[in-house]
Amino acid sequence: MSAAVFTPVNQVRLTNVAVVRLKKGGKRFELACYKNKVISWRNKVETDLDEVLQTRTIFTNVSKGEVAKKVDLEKCFKTFEEQRIIEEILRKGVLQVSEKERQAALESSFKEIASLVSNQTVDPGSKKPYPVTVIENAMKQAHFSVKPQRPAKLQALEVIKLLKESMPIERAQIRIQINFPVQFKLVKDQLEALVVLTEHLEVNSEVEMICLIEPGMWRKVEICLRTATKGAGILQILCLRSNENDVFG
């Protein structure tokens, strides 16, 4: 009679999984996940962990089915709460992918960043946006490298600063409309100190201003208007580029 094959109870065999790995406290911890769901969870599209994880088991090595010891989990994460540990691994861990997948993801991120830069900037001479292909070529010439763990929007801002060293490029101005009751008309001078240009000013029972602002000034204008008018003012975006006529309201 042949002997039965013994499988240790602390081993779980999983195949065709995406692994999220986090090194903490000198130990390695891994989760067996569905790759696309990990990305969705990080982007706050997916919120159900059971849709992200193939199993709630926390491993030291998924491919070998080696399960993490509870004593190591408590020592490294300072908690027994499985949910908190899993969420930290998902949030901070590295998603293990093949070289082909990694390269495809980097290329996709590169194009996304270039598109964001194109949408947020203009040629200061023509006040028109650069085509995405021009931005991509400029990024390559500037030897820009995508950082997978950083949000694309933050990297787009870094790219704008980088490209200013080699080409004429500036942040696109935003056209806004401001309305507030005429009794607060003194706020007009405060607002005009924050804008680049006032294109239109009309004073009747209320004051209406159409202005151009630098993108970074939106928050300051909003706070100034809200504070000075006790919340009675209205601020809206007319277009995201000063040379466009699209109304975003």
pLDDT computed for residue 248 by the predictor = 34
pLDDT computed for residue 99 by the predictor = 77
Is the pLDDT reported for residue 164 higher than 50? yes
Using CA atoms in the order 51, 53, 55, 56, what is the torsion angle rounded to 10 degrees?
-100
3-state secondary structure of 200: strand
* Range 131-143 average pLDDT: 96
What's CA 172's distance to the chain center, in Å?
20
Q: What is the pLDDT of residues 215-236, one digit of tens each?
A: 889 999 999 999 999 999 999 9
Instruction: Please state, for a pLDDT cut of 90, what percent of the chain lies above it.
Output: 65
pLDDT computed for residue 140 by the predictor = 96
Please tell me the least confidently modeled range out of 36-40, 152-156, 163-167, 217-221. Answer: 36-40
Would the pTM count as exceeding 0.85? no
| pLDDT band at residue 105 under the 50/70/90 scheme | confident
Whether 35 contacts 96, CB under 8 Å: no
Q: What is the pLDDT of residues 182-212, one digit of tens each?
A: 999 889 999 999 999 999 999 999 999 999 9
pLDDT computed for residue 25 by the predictor = 93
* Averaged pLDDT of the chain: 87
Burial class from Cβ neighbours inside 10 Å (0-12, 13-18, 19+) for residue 4 reads exposed
pLDDT computed for residue 101 by the predictor = 77
**Structural domains in the chain?**
18-96 (3.30.1250.10), 99-170 (1.10.10.900), 173-239 (3.30.70.240)
Terminal Cα distance for the chain, rounded: 79
Tell me the one-letter amino acid at 174. I
